[in-house]
Amino acid sequence: MIVYRESPFFQDRSDAGRRLAQSLEEHREGEAVVLGVPRGGVPVGVEVAGELNIPLDVIVTRKITVPGNPEAGYGAVAEDGTVVLNEPLVARLRLTEGQIERQADEVRAEIARRAAVLRERVAPSPVEGKTAILVDDGLASGFTMLAAAKSTRLRHASAVVVAVPVASGSAYDLIRGVVDDVVCLVVARTYSFAVAGFYRNWHDLTDEEVIGWLEGRQSTHGARSGRMG
């Protein structure tokens, strides 16, 4: 669905995840892995993986922020160190290679910290030869997802699918050209864009909340597996 104004289409991330899963039915119990992008993509990914009965993992990415404007980013780094840059924006900001590398190193350190915490709760799932479904709660610039997609390609997934409840028009166009499929419930071709504007209930998650979602997923999945056995 293409929209031209901001509106709260989703109650919360759980609602968005369940609705997103309906558009991913072809992957039910298939050779696929859901990779949630922390923080906001984890609750959405938990719902998608649970509804489709496929494994859940995380892929940690983080934006490289514009100096003096922490809300804006000019690139992103993935868990394996993959870096993507918004080259036109880098040129406009007149950033030097040294500045970019210093900031990228800071981002890598934060990714390592966050990944170490999360890996205590969820072990890496192999994606080689499988469909990797990358899930976030929304795409603003799209560059963190672009880093995740390029990183996943290097892990030899048979296909890379990006699945999000909402994306800006520019992010949707950016991602669509580099992955095998994009499943996006709402493409917002609006003058300004904020992921939060499409949710009735939305807040920035903490690491502790993300851990809670992952631990809840493990308990639920374990109970389901036990019943099936």
What's the CA gap between 20 and 46, in Å, rounded? Answer: 11
What's the CA gap between 170 and 20, in Å, rounded? Answer: 20
HSE, CB side, 13 Å, CA atoms: give it for residue 183.
Answer: 21
The whole-number pLDDT of residue 226 equals 36
Question: At 117, is the secondary structure helix, strand, or coil?
Answer: helix
In terms of DSSP H, where are the helices of the chain?
13-22, 41-52, 87-93, 97-119, 143-153, 169-176, 207-228
CA 96 to chain CA mean position, Å:
28
What's the CA gap between 229 and 207, in Å, rounded? Answer: 33
The whole-number pLDDT of residue 153 equals 92
Q: Taking the domains of the chain in order of start, what are their residue ranges?
A: 2-59+127-228
pLDDT, tens only, 55-108? 999 999 998 988 888 777 889 998 888 889 999 899 999 988 899 999 999 999
Neighbouring CB atoms inside 10 A of 137's CB total: 28
Which tokens belong to 145?
A: 């997802």
Low-confidence ranges of the chain (pLDDT < 50): 219, 221-229
The answer to whether the beta carbons of residues 26 and 197 sit under 8 Å apart is no
Which tokens belong to 116?
A: 């170490």
Q: How many residues does this entry show for the chain?
A: 229
The answer to whether the beta carbons of residues 118 and 60 sit under 8 Å apart is yes
Fold (CATH) for 2-59+127-228: Rossmann fold (3.40.50)
Nearest to 122 by CA among 203, 210, 24: 210
The whole-number pLDDT of residue 124 equals 82
The whole-number pLDDT of residue 218 equals 55
